Amino acid sequence: MSAAATQKLPTYVWEPTTDFLAAHYGLARESIVRFDVNTSPLAPDLRDVLAGSFDPPLCEYPPSDYASLVAAAAASYDVTPEEVLPTAGADEALDLTARAYLREGSVAVVATPTYAMYRIVSEQRGARVAAVPRLGPESGFRLDIRALAEAARGAQLVWLCEPNNPSGAFEPPERIGELLAALESGAVRDRREAPIVAVDEAYSEFVGRTVLPLRCDYSRLVVIRTLSKAHALAGIRVGFAIARPETLAPILSFRAPASVGTVSAALATASLTRPELAADNVARITAQRKRLADELSAIGWRPYPSQANFILVRFTSPGSAASAGDALLRKGLVPRTFGLDHPLADCLRLTVRSAEENDRLIDAARGFPA
C-alpha cells in the first residue's frame, strides 16, 4: 500500500470517556450511566479466579496453545478445539480475518447499517467496500439475500452481524444458509473460489441460535464470538474466531504471540465453564429489555423489536433524535447517537441496563416526545 494511502486509513472513533463526559457536562462521575456501549450492568462473580494463583505465573507468557481456554470454548460452542482461535476480543478476530483474506484491490461486502469495524478493517487492507443496504424497518431490517449474493460475485469477503448492531434485528440461521448456498452456487457457476463469509455473533446468546452448524456445508464460514456481551466481560477482551481448520489457518498466521493475557484467559475459561453465569445475565437483560421497550412505547417513543442487549428507537426527525440525545446527556444518561449522514440519523440506540438505571432513562424520556 502506498504512503499516500496509509495516511488516509480509517480509524475507529471511540466514545468519549465517562470522566470526559462528567467534566464536560458538570456532573458527578458516579451519575453517568453508559447507555451507548452495549455492555452489561453487572459483572459476573469470578472473585475466586482473581484470588487464586495463575499457571503459568504472571511473570511468564501465557501457554501458546491456550489449551484450557480453547477446550472450554470448544465445549461451549460445540465445535472441535482445532476450530477455535482465541483473540483479544472479537475486534482482533475481525482484524485478523481481514488481514488473512483481503488484499489491496479486494472487495468486501457489508450489509448496512451495521458495526463500523467491518468497513474499517477492510479499508485498512486496501479493499473496496461494497455496501448492501438491509431492507427497511418495515421489513424488520432483514438482509437482502439476493442483493448480497449479487454484490459478492467476485468479492473475497462478506461481513454479517447477527443479531445486527445497531438495529437489533436477527436473521435466522436458515436465511444465512440460503445466502451461503447462493454464494457457493455462484462460485461454481463462475468457476471461482467462494468468498469468506464472516458472521459476527457478538449477541448470539440473546437469541440462543447460531450459524456454526452451517460450517459443515460451507467450508469458508468464519464465526466470531465474544465474552463481552452475554458473559459481561468486556474488560478482559477475549473473543474467538471459529472455523474449519483449513479456513482458520490463514487467520492464525497473522495473530501476534500471546495476544490474550493470562488473567483474561483464566477469567474467560471460568466463565465458559460456568454457563449459568451468562444464562442468568441474559435472562436479566432480556426481562429488562422488554420492560424498557414497553415503558418507552407507553410514553410515545418508538422502539424497534430487538434480539440483543440494546434497543433502537426512532424519532420523527434527525433533529428530534439529536435534541433528545442532548437532553439525556445533560442528565448523565449517555445514548448512542448517529451522524446526520447515517441511515439511522433519526434514531438513538439504548443499551439495556439495570432496573434502577433504566428507570432513570424512562423518567427522563417522559419530557421528550419522539
363: DSSP letter = H
315-326: pLDDT as tens digits: 999 999 999 999
**Within-domain flag for 38:** yes
Tell me the percentage of the chain whose pLDDT exceeds 70. 98
End-to-end Cα, the chain, rounded Å: 46
Give yes or no: residues 177 and 303 share one domain. Answer: no
**Inter-CA distances, 331 with 4, 33, 59, 95, 359, Å:** 44, 9, 45, 36, 13
6 pLDDT higher than 80: no
Give yes or no: residues 14 and 69 share one domain. Answer: no
Give yes or no: residues 206 and 233 share one domain. Answer: yes
228-248: pLDDT as tens digits: 999 999 999 999 999 999 999
1 pLDDT higher than 80: no
Among the candidates 231, 246, 274, a domain finishes at: 274
Q: Are 167 and 350 in contact (CB under 8 A)?
A: no
pLDDT at residue 291, as a whole number: 98
**Within-domain flag for 370:** no
Among the candidates 257, 274, 291, a domain finishes at: 274
E-assigned strand segments in the chain: 33-34, 84-87, 107-112, 128-133, 157-161, 196-200, 221-226, 239-242, 302-303, 310-314, 333-334, 347-351
335-349: pLDDT as tens digits: 999 988 899 999 999
Q: Give the range among 9-23, 208-222, 250-264 with minimum mean pLDDT.
A: 9-23
| Mean pLDDT for the chain overall | 95
- Mode of pairing for the β-strands spanning 310-314 and 333-334: unpaired
Q: What is the pTM of this model?
A: 0.95
Q: Are 260 and 89 in contact (CB under 8 A)?
A: no
Domain carrying residue 341? 3-43+276-365
The model's confidence at residue 7, banded by pLDDT at 50, 70 and 90, is low
2 pLDDT higher than 60: no
Give yes or no: residues 166 and 92 share one domain. Answer: yes
Give yes or no: residues 207 and 71 share one domain. Answer: yes
Give yes or no: residues 156 and 89 share one domain. Answer: yes
Counted residue by residue, the chain has a size of 370
* 368 phi, psi to nearest 5 deg: -135, 105
60-103: pLDDT as tens digits: 999 999 999 999 999 999 999 999 999 999 999 999 999 999 99
Q: Which residues pair with 86 in a beta bridge?
A: 240
